[in-house]
Amino acid sequence: MNSVATIAARGARLAAAGGLVSAMVFGATAGIGATAQAAGPSGEQAVMAPAKPYATVTTKAGLNKRQFPSTDSSVRGFLPYRAQVGVVCKVRAQNIAGNDIWYLVRDKSQPWISAKYAANTGYVKYCKDVLRSKVRQMPRAMG
């Protein structure tokens, strides 16, 4: 199997697992990662960071959100420089300039972003660990 086929197969498996993880985690944390605004003492609006873990875009060009953890995958959105987004978990997938980590974003569309161009704040678990812990909490999920 060539590397493109391997990435496509891995992406499909991750999307299925990511969908389950996102549904469980996003459902439990809906509203926590939402952007909140509060009026400062001088009247300006201050934007608060999402709940940890979250990632901050570090490239001035901005960052594409992808359907799967690969640049071959379709673009599902865009994050501008210094944008902060909640992160569900991480996987090892396509290597981007020496970094093979991709983050699953806390978002309804469940997009992925490359960790090469995003700095994380807080500990980000691997998706296999997040999925495993959620399945243990639901004994009927095992059949």
User: In the numeric block, which tokens belong to residue 12?
Assistant: 């499909």
pLDDT digit string, tens, across residues 86-105: 999 999 999 999 999 999 99
CB 84 within 8 A of CB 55: yes
127: which residues sit within 8 A by CB, 6+ positions away? 14, 17, 18, 21, 88, 89, 90, 91, 104
Whether 36 is in a domain gets the answer no
Question: What is the edge-to-edge ordering of all strands in the sheet holding 118-121?
Answer: 75-79, 63-66, 112-114, 99-105, 84-96, 54-57, 118-121
User: In the numeric block, which tokens belong to residue 32?
Assistant: 């926590």
Whether 37 is in a domain gets the answer no
**Could you give the number of structural domains in the chain?**
1
Whether 39 is in a domain gets the answer no
Whether 51 is in a domain gets the answer yes
CATH at 96: 2.30.30.40
Whether 73 is in a domain gets the answer yes
pLDDT digit string, tens, across residues 119-137: 999 999 999 998 676 655 5
pLDDT digit string, tens, across residues 19-76: 544 444 444 444 444 444 444 455 555 567 788 999 999 999 999 999 999 999 999 9
Whether 98 is in a domain gets the answer yes
Whether 38 is in a domain gets the answer no
Structural domain that includes position 18:
3-31+47-142
